């Protein structure tokens, strides 16, 4: 939601090319992510785990309602991407859809690489597994966590921009449902596993679309959340999750 609004604001002030706007929004939401960590999470670092969940919900409420007070009505999003429709092997596609798939693919592979292969990625995973011991390695824990939130913010910003191109109406509440679905996808895949979250996202997406085709479309969320319950019953750690892992 912030990503989409930031994009709307940017392009209404300066006519930016789409890619530039996307990158600029990612920078803005990265800064916001790091700021949220500093203000809302760091003071609760030693608090019980549930406090982090409460502060997350609280941040969401503050941001949503701030936006609502500034812009009470949904606004149309201008098309920034020249989209052409074509048919391929009997499937109708447009170039925007392909672009979205491409950008998210690049971002997912990039994130996977950073977390698996780079020094920061190793430090991040170590922090997730045993935050108290990481400083003994000379690793500045606070900076690792700030960077993690910045990366998360940048990715969410990119998602907001891409989503608002596919569904070009931006409103304060647009992110809430997406956020819940992202959470469901992460639980399905296994909290703590990034590849699992990607897998969970695709499973959820396919299940939703298939439901709409086969059953009345109002059943969509019922089926999606039932899937979540079934997975929680049979695989409480998600498809790719392991019991020992935890989120930063």
Partner 1 sequence: MSEVVLSVGNLTVGYGDIRAVKGISFEVQAGEIFTLIGANGAGKTSTLRALSGMLRYGGTVCLNGRDLRGLAAEEIVTAGLAHVPEGRRVFGPLTVLENLKLGAWIRRSQRAAVAADLERMFTFFPRLHERRDQLAGTLSGGEQQMLAVARALMSQARLLVLDEPSMGLAPKLVKEIYAVLREINREGVTLLLVEQNANLALRLADRAAVLETGVITLAGESAALLQDARVREAYLGA
What is the smallest separation between the CB atom of 132 and partner 1, expressed in angstroms? 8
Instruction: Give CA–CA dist 131/133, Å, rounded.
Output: 6
Q: Are strands 169-170 and 75-76 parallel, antiparallel or unpaired?
A: antiparallel
Question: Pick from 130, 126, 129, 121: which is nearest to 148 by CA?
Answer: 121
What is the smallest separation between the CB atom of 133 and partner 1, expressed in angstroms? 4
- For position 82 contacting partner 1 by CB under 8 A, the verdict is no
- For position 141 contacting partner 1 by CB under 8 A, the verdict is yes
- For position 111 contacting partner 1 by CB under 8 A, the verdict is no
- Tokens 């406090």 sit at which residue? 51
Residue with Cβ nearer partner 1 (35 or 128): 128
- Tokens 């059953």 sit at which residue? 215
- For position 130 contacting partner 1 by CB under 8 A, the verdict is yes
- For position 139 contacting partner 1 by CB under 8 A, the verdict is yes
- For position 12 contacting partner 1 by CB under 8 A, the verdict is no
From 35, 59, 122, 212, residue interacting with partner 1 (rule: CB under 8 A): 122
DSSP-assigned states of every residue in 107-165: HHHHHHHHHHHSHHHHHHHHHHH-TTTGGGGT--HHHHHHHHHHHHHHHHHHHHHHHHH
- For position 133 contacting partner 1 by CB under 8 A, the verdict is yes
Contact 168, 184 (CB under 8 A): no
Sign of the CA dihedral 149, 178, 185, 96?
A: negative
From 126, 166, 207, 239, residue interacting with partner 1 (rule: CB under 8 A): 126
- For position 125 contacting partner 1 by CB under 8 A, the verdict is yes
What is the smallest separation between the CB atom of 141 and partner 1, expressed in angstroms? 7
What is the smallest separation between the CB atom of 134 and partner 1, expressed in angstroms? 8
What is the smallest separation between the CB atom of 196 and partner 1, expressed in angstroms? 14
Size of the site for partner 1 (CB under 8 A): 21
> How many C-beta atoms surround the C-beta of residue 38 within 10 A?
14
From 92, 119, 229, 233, residue interacting with partner 1 (rule: CB under 8 A): 119
DSSP 8-state secondary structure symbol assigned to residue 219: G
From 19, 137, 176, 177, residue interacting with partner 1 (rule: CB under 8 A): 137
Sign of the CA dihedral 63, 69, 73, 79?
A: negative
Given the rule CB under 8 A, which residues bind partner 1? Answer: 119, 122-123, 125-126, 128-130, 132-141, 242, 244-245
């Amino acid at each position: 939601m912030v990503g989409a609004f930031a994009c709307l604001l940017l392009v209404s002030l300066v006519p930016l090319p789409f890619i530039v706007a996307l990158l600029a929004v990612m920078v803005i939401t990265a800064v916001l992510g790091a700021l949220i960590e500093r203000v809302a999470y760091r003071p609760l670092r030693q608090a019980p785990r549930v406090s982090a969940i409460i502060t997350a919900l609280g941040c969401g409420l503050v941001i949503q309602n701030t936006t609502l007070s500034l812009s009470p009505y949904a606004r149309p999003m201008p098309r920034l991407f020249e989209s052409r429709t074509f048919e391929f092997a009997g499937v109708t596609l447009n170039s925007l859809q392909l672009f979205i798939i491409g950008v998210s693919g690049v971002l997912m592979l990039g994130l996977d690489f950073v977390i698996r292969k780079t020094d920061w990625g190793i430090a991040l995973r170590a922090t997730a597994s045993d935050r108290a011991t990481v400083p003994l390695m000379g690793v500045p824990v606070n900076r690792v966590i700030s960077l993690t939130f910045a990366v998360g913010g940048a990715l969410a910003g990119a998602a907001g921009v891409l989503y608002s191109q596919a569904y070009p109406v931006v409103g304060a509440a647009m992110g809430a449902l997406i956020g819940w679905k992202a959470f469901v996808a992460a639980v399905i895949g296994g909290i703590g596993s990034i590849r699992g979250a990607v897998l969970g996202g695709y499973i959820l997406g396919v299940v939703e679309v298939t439901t709409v085709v086969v059953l009345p479309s109002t059943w969509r969320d019922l089926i999606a959340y039932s899937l979540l319950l079934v997975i929680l019953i049979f695989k409480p750690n998600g498809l790719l999750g392991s019991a020992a892992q935890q989120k930063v």
